[in-house]
Amino acid sequence: MNLTQEDWVSQFEADENAVILDVRTEDECNEGIIANSINIDIHMGQGFINEIEALDKNKNYYVYCRSGMRSAKACEIMNELGFENTYNLVGGIIEWNGDIV
């Protein structure tokens, strides 16, 4: 599900079962990440699938990338793998108004 930043943040902050997932490259992450996010690079192909499959499907995943395109694809892949609650950050980190670390 695509969410605006405002909805993504308000929903995430109220969600005790939330995980923030950054699907950018390591180089991109080195430029700054949203606090408490985990990084799994979608460009790793099967490695991405393997790491995603190891995640807890009972959690709710708030996914972002640079612009929102890769994270939308990651949400599709996760849904196909049986994850029911994935939320894509529309606009990605380039439109992010919150803090990055």
The residues annotated with a catalytic role in the active site are: 65
* 63 contacts: CB under 8 Å, gap ≥ 6: 20, 21, 22, 23, 71, 74, 75, 78, 86, 87, 88, 89
